[in-house]
Amino acid sequence: MRGDPTEYAERVLDVVDRIPPGRVMAYGDIAEFLGEGGPRQVGRVMALWGGGVPWWRVLRADGSPPPGHEQRALKHYRAEGTPLRGDRVDMRLARWTGDTAEAG
């Protein structure tokens, strides 16, 4: 049973919701941006409550899409113009730092 998102989960989901189209953050990037938790905690939040936010913009640090959602994620990346290298996101070009001047 999922229940309501925790305060930490709400903060994670808020960051994910602010990632601009065509940009991404790794699980660890979000934890570092928030100054709490780690990649596994962010992944857990995304697994439980990430369906209502642009989940495809959160991925592994090597640029690989969320496990089990690769094809759906690739469709989103292509539609948003996210820089790709093969079937992975080009993290050097697509990584978002959380800079609000860059958003929207």
Q: What's the whole-model pTM score? A: 0.91
- pLDDT tens figures, 51-85: 999 999 999 999 999 889 999 999 999 999 999 99
Q: Quick one: tokens of 68?
A: 């089990």
Q: What is the pLDDT of residue 99?
A: 79
- pLDDT tens figures, 28-48: 999 999 999 999 999 999 999
Whether 88 has a pLDDT exceeding 60, the answer reads yes
Q: What is the pLDDT of residue 104?
A: 47
Where b means 16+ CB within 10 Å and e means fewer, 16-49 reads bebbeebbbbbbbbbbbbbeebebebbbbbbeeb
